[in-house]
């Protein structure tokens, strides 16, 4: 093969590679603005609790309460973005004072100024709060609300708090709001 042919093939491959890279960059810029995340307990070893959720960002918007389009007080919320948040327990737990069997549940909330209603539901694979079937509610509990004026969370976040090596609470936060639901087993 002549040097001229080798250079032509090499140039064609380089152009195709650069074009493919540019196309991939354009597609990457359209990534979900509320990325999927997971909270779990314990950090190492077999998981006892796992929460899968999407993390919307504030982007300067009002989060909860009057004037909020994201999660107004008294209205059912998907507790995150996109698909309904799911929580899995690998063993029976007491969640907010109610007995809950091991399993995976959709998690909905109804935000309030001083307390939130937190709902576990057995219907899975739903989008947002639109397909919530109240007949499949497994537990409806109250979560305590606190404000953290020193720490404004740009993205909605969920974590599992622990005490003495055991899960002790589901903690949700966004903006300056923190909501806590006790967990024991």
CB 109 within 8 A of CB 156: no
Residue 70's pLDDT is 85
Render pLDDT for 156-180 as a digit per residue (tens, 0 to 9). Answer: 999 999 999 999 999 999 999 999 9
Q: What's the CA angle centered on 141, arms 136 and 143, to 5 degrees?
A: 135
* pLDDT at 107 > cutoff 60: yes
Domain ranges, ordered by start, for the chain? 32-184
Please state, in angstroms and rounded to a whole number, the distance separating the CA atoms of residues 120 and 89.
11
Please state, in angstroms and rounded to a whole number, the distance separating the CA atoms of residues 154 and 58.
5
Q: How many CA atoms lie within 13 A of 111 on its CB side?
A: 22
Category of 26 on φ-ψ map: left (φ > 0), alpha (ψ -120 to 50) or beta = alpha
Backbone dihedral angles phi then psi of residue 28, each to the nearest 5 degrees: -65, -30
Q: What's the CA angle centered on 21, arms 19 and 24, to 5 degrees?
A: 110
Neighbours of 25 (CB within 10 A): 9
Residue 125's pLDDT is 94
- Establish whether the linkage from the previous residue to 76 is cis, with ω within 30° of 0: no
For the entire predicted model, the pTM comes to 0.82
Residue 13's pLDDT is 59
Residue 139's pLDDT is 98
* pLDDT at 72 > cutoff 80: yes
* pLDDT at 16 > cutoff 60: no
Confidence of residue 7 (pLDDT cuts 50, 70, 90): low
Structure tokens, 166:
């055991």
Distance of CA 39 to the CA centre of its chain: 8
Q: How many helices (H) and strands (E) does the chain have?
A: 1, 11
């Amino acid at each position: 093969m002549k040097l001229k042919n080798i250079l032509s093939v090499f140039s064609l491959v380089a152009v195709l590679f650069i074009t493919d890279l540019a196309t991939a960059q354009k597609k990457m810029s359209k990534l979900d603005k509320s990325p999927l995340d997971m909270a779990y307990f314990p950090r190492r070893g077999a998981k006892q609790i796992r929460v899968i959720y999407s993390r919307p960002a504030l982007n300067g918007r009002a989060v909860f309460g009057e004037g909020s389009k994201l999660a107004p007080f008294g209205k059912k919320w998907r507790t995150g973005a996109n698909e309904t948040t799911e929580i899995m327990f690998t063993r029976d737990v007491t969640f907010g004072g109610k007995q809950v069997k091991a399993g995976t549940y959709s998690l909905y909330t109804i935000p309030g100024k001083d307390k939130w209603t937190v709902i576990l539901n057995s219907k899975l694979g739903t989008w947002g709060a639109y397909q919530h079937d109240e007949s499949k509610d497994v537990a409806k509990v109250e979560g305590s609300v606190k404000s953290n004026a020193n720490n404004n969370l740009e993205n909605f976040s969920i974590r599992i708090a622990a005490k003495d090596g055991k899960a002790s609470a589901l903690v949700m936060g966004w903006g300056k709001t923190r909501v806590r639901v006790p967990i024991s087993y």
